[in-house]
Amino acid sequence: VFKGVSPRVSMPGPRKYVFVTGGVMSGLGKGVITASIAKLLRASGLNALPMKIDPYINVDAGTMNPIVHGEVYVTQDGGECDMDLGTYERFLGVDLTKDHNMTTGQVYRSVIDAERRGEYLGECVQIIPHVTNEVKRRLRGLAERRGLDVLVVESGGTVGDIEGLPYLEAFRQMRAEDGRDNTMFVHVTWGPVLPSVGEFKTKPTQHSVQELRRIGIQPDVIVVRSSSPMPEDAKRKIALYTNVEQDAVFSSPDLETIYEVPLVLEGQGFMRAVERDLKLGPLNPNLDDWRRIVEPFKAKAPQLRIAMVGKYSKLADSYVSVNQSLHHAAARLGVKLSIEWLDSERYELEPRELEALREYDGVLIPGGFGRRGSEGMIAAADYARRNMIPFLGICFGFQLAAVSFARHVAGLDGANSTELDPSTPHPVVDLLPEQRGIDRMGGTMRLGAHEIEIVPGTAARTIYGSDRIIRRHRHRYEVNPDYVSKLEESGLVFSAFSDSRRRAEILEVPGHPFFMATQYHLEFSSRPWEPEPLFTAFVAAAHASAHGKKETHALTTAG
Ligand code: GLN
């Protein structure tokens, strides 16, 4: 099994830094490039890890809108982090800690706290040097604590953004202070292809590099994202105009799967550039395992359809870890699936629309917050249960599945979560006791890894093949312990608990092809080479259901 860690080569001397900046526009997949660089370094035997800088003033991603910023990724140690940390973990197989995500909020908070403590007495506290020093202190501190050979630093946003300037200035200073051989600048840009003439345009890259140089940074490597591979003459042109060696200009075209990116970069000799810039090497990444892992992810026609029912259905990044986990499970089973987003609010306006769920092979209700769309999700859970459609609920989806069962099977009319209806007669889901009295929003949920005990003789026990798992959490509400036995008397099974059996973690409906839900976020524990077992079981059930549908179809059309 691939673990992402190769035998260490010893590297005497100072720690090294690769800085990844972005140009032209955001959303180019800089996180994937950063993860791929760390992957190639680790596959070469170096102890390299990535980290992400977010230039916004939020202290962490927990208070941001997932529709705009993508999902909040929860680390083992309970950090509410940028979704790129999920990409890193899925490429590297290393559990990162929250200090792998730095935000302007954290940096300014430290500087202002130090000022209040009187650490800068008599000084005028400024962006240079106080903020830039704090940035450098954090980068070097992380590299030191982890004993890294190379820290790969991804800077969020685009060169030229006002928010990002202090970070670029800190990187510039580190080149001077840590040395040319210990710092490497990778700039990621976009190469559009004009649809009319099919010409590959290099001008956006040229302008973006000019902007970077104006700030005092000359890139060592340029990675150009584009829809199709960049032609050699475009590489030549970019090299000429940006003062970068032609063999240090790399093409990163759209691929069948993001997991191929390290292979495509190395195929163009990426490590030759690293050897040259960081005076390392020779670096010969061993990518045999990775090639084997990537193969099943390559394109095939989708054989089954999963409906994702929720309210944050606009931006695919809102649930990137759930999407990836489903694809990991499908790859493991040798199938391909498509994921379609259904807005649960439509079931509230038009309950008959629920019938459309029949077309899907599985229904998934992911995490979420707040009232909007929740009645539709409760109805969708009930529809999947009654119509034997494989169902998986995660966190909010778990809580609403419990509410749905309470109303429709246990006969508890008006049952609800107190998050959605504070005066419900049956608070089947209620605030965690330790959450009472908490009025601050940031970082105050039940977060991070907790141990979970699985009840013998349950489907969960069979699927996990173990009595104990550790999974990540992010919630304020839980299934009310006062209702557990009442729901169980009506046939629901709570098959796992945490905190000495106080907290329900998994529910299942016996006799259904697959109806399971978890309080924990299993999507943060799935890796391409090791899908989370419950996802695999869900996709297997969906596949069986798709197969069944096809057979029924064949029978009816033959008859
Ligand atoms: N809103 C629910 C809670 O706070 C679920 C949270 C989630 O899905 N992450 O418990």
Global pTM value:
0.93
Which of 419, 436, 524, when mutated, tests ligand 1's pocket best, judged by the most ligand atoms within 8 Å of its CB? Answer: 419
445 Cα nearest atom in ligand 1: 4
Q: Is 156 in the pocket of ligand 1 (CB under 6 A)?
A: no
Q: What percent of the chain clears pLDDT 70, i.e. is strictly above it? A: 95
**Degrees (nearest 5) of the Cα angle 510, 342, 387?**
30
- Expressed in angstroms and rounded, the spacing between residue 9 Cα and the centre of ligand 1 is 44
Categorize the per-residue pLDDT at 165 as very low, low, confident or very high, splitting at 50, 70 and 90. Answer: very high
Q: Is 396 in the pocket of ligand 1 (CB under 6 A)?
A: yes
- Expressed in angstroms and rounded, the spacing between residue 309 Cα and the centre of ligand 1 is 15
For the chain, the first-to-last Cα distance in angstroms comes to: 48
- Expressed in angstroms and rounded, the spacing between residue 396 Cα and the centre of ligand 1 is 5
Q: Is 474 in the pocket of ligand 1 (CB under 6 A)?
A: yes
Q: Determine the 3-state secondary structure of 392 from DSSP.
A: strand
Categorize the per-residue pLDDT at 559 as very low, low, confident or very high, splitting at 50, 70 and 90. Answer: very low
- In the numeric block, which tokens belong to residue 458? 């349950």
Which of 431, 476, 522, when mutated, tests ligand 1's pocket best, judged by the most ligand atoms within 8 Å of its CB? Answer: 476
Q: Kindly state the average pLDDT of the residues 121-135.
A: 94
**Which of the pair, 160 or 492, is modelled with greater confidence?**
492
Label residues 142-179 b or e (16+ Cβ within 10 Å = b).
Answer: bbeebebbbbbbbbbbbbbeeebbbbbbbbbbbbeebe
Give residue 10's pLDDT.
43
- Expressed in angstroms and rounded, the spacing between residue 482 Cα and the centre of ligand 1 is 19
Which of 64, 72, 369, 438, when mutated, tests ligand 1's pocket best, judged by the most ligand atoms within 8 Å of its CB? Answer: 369
- Expressed in angstroms and rounded, the spacing between residue 263 Cα and the centre of ligand 1 is 38
Assess whether pLDDT exceeds 70 at residue 251.
Answer: yes
- In the numeric block, which tokens belong to residue 244? 């970068």
370 Cα nearest atom in ligand 1: 1
- Expressed in angstroms and rounded, the spacing between residue 367 Cα and the centre of ligand 1 is 6
* Residues pairing with 451 in the sheet: 470
Q: Is 435 in the pocket of ligand 1 (CB under 6 A)?
A: no
Which of 72, 318, 394, 477, when mutated, tests ligand 1's pocket best, judged by the most ligand atoms within 8 Å of its CB? Answer: 477
**Which of the pair, 235 or 66, is modelled with greater confidence?**
235
* pLDDT one-digit tens code per residue, 2-37: 344 444 444 445 799 999 999 978 778 999 999 999
Q: Is 368 in the pocket of ligand 1 (CB under 6 A)?
A: yes
> What DSSP element (H or E) covers 18?
strand 16-22
SS3 per residue for 108-176? HHHHHHHHHHCCCCCCCCCHHHHHHHHHHHHHHHHHHHCCCCEEEEEECCCCCCHHHHHHHHHHHHHHH
Q: Is 432 in the pocket of ligand 1 (CB under 6 A)?
A: no
- Expressed in angstroms and rounded, the spacing between residue 89 Cα and the centre of ligand 1 is 23
- In the numeric block, which tokens belong to residue 237? 């042109």
User: Quick one: which of 500, 495, 507, 301 has its CA closest to 399?
Assistant: 507
- Expressed in angstroms and rounded, the spacing between residue 438 Cα and the centre of ligand 1 is 15
* pLDDT one-digit tens code per residue, 325-355: 999 999 999 999 999 999 999 999 999 999 9
Give residue 554's pLDDT.
66
* pLDDT one-digit tens code per residue, 421-447: 999 999 999 999 888 888 888 888 999
Give residue 12's pLDDT.
45
Query: Distance between CA atoms of 273 and 334, rounded to whole angstroms?
Result: 36
Ligand 1 atom 7: residue of nearest CA? 367
- Averaged pLDDT score across all residues of the chain: 93
Query: Distance between CA atoms of 259 and 528, rounded to whole angstroms?
Result: 9
Ligand 1 atom 6: residue of nearest CA? 475
Give residue 219's pLDDT.
97
Catalytic residue positions?
395, 521, 523
* pLDDT one-digit tens code per residue, 289-325: 999 999 999 878 888 999 999 986 566 678 999 999 9
395 Cα nearest atom in ligand 1: 8
Q: Is 393 in the pocket of ligand 1 (CB under 6 A)?
A: no
Q: Is 367 in the pocket of ligand 1 (CB under 6 A)?
A: yes
Q: Kindly state the average pLDDT of the residues 63-71.
A: 79
394 Cα nearest atom in ligand 1: 8
Q: Is 431 in the pocket of ligand 1 (CB under 6 A)?
A: no
- Expressed in angstroms and rounded, the spacing between residue 477 Cα and the centre of ligand 1 is 6
Ligand 1 atom 1: residue of nearest CA? 369
Assess whether pLDDT exceeds 50 at residue 148.
Answer: yes
Q: What percent of the chain clears pLDDT 90, i.e. is strictly above it? A: 85
Cα 369 to chain center, whole Å? 18
Identity of the amino acid at 124: C
Half-sphere exposure of 165 (CA within 13 A, CB side): 10
